[in-house]
Amino acid sequence: MRVDRLQEGLQTKRLGHSILFSSEVGSTNDWAKELATYGAFEGTVVVAETQTAGRGRLGRGWVSPKGGLWFSVVLRPEIRAGEAVRLVFVAGLAVAEVLRELYGLRVETKWPNDVLVNGKKVCGILAEMNTADEIVNFVVVGVGVNANFDVEKAFPEELRASATSLENELGGKVELEALFRALLEKLESTYEAFEKEGFASVLNEWKGYASFLGCKVEVASGTEKWVGLALDVEDDGSLIVRLEDGTVKRVFIGDITLRLG
- pLDDT score at 55: 64
| Listed residues 208, 232, 250: the one ending a domain | 208
Residue 62 has pLDDT above 80, yes or no: no
Range of the domain at 160: 3-208
- pLDDT score at 37: 96
> Terminus-to-terminus CA distance in the chain, angstroms?
44
- pLDDT score at 159: 86
Do residues 48 and 173 share a domain?
yes
CATH number of the structural domain spanning residue 159: 3.30.930.10
pLDDT tens-place string over residues 75-126: 999 999 999 999 999 999 999 999 999 999 999 999 999 999 999 999 999 9
Torsion angle, alpha carbons of 8, 12, 17, 18, to 10: -90
- What's the average model confidence in pLDDT over 41-58? 84
pLDDT tens-place string over residues 182-230: 999 999 999 999 999 999 999 999 999 999 999 999 999 888 999 999 9
pLDDT tens-place string over residues 119-178: 999 999 999 999 988 889 999 999 999 999 999 999 889 888 999 999 999 999 999 999
Residue 58 has pLDDT above 70, yes or no: no
Do residues 204 and 242 share a domain?
no
**255 sits in which H/E element:** strand 255-258
In angstroms, rounded to a whole number, what is the distance separating the alpha carbons of residues 149 and 173?
Answer: 8
Q: By C-alpha distance, which of 233, 224, 209, 212 is closest to 254?
A: 224
Do residues 183 and 244 share a domain?
no
Residue 261 has pLDDT above 90, yes or no: no
Residue 31 has pLDDT above 90, yes or no: yes
Neighbour-count burial of 247, counting CB atoms closer than 10 A to its CB (0-12 exposed, 13-18 middle, 19+ buried): exposed
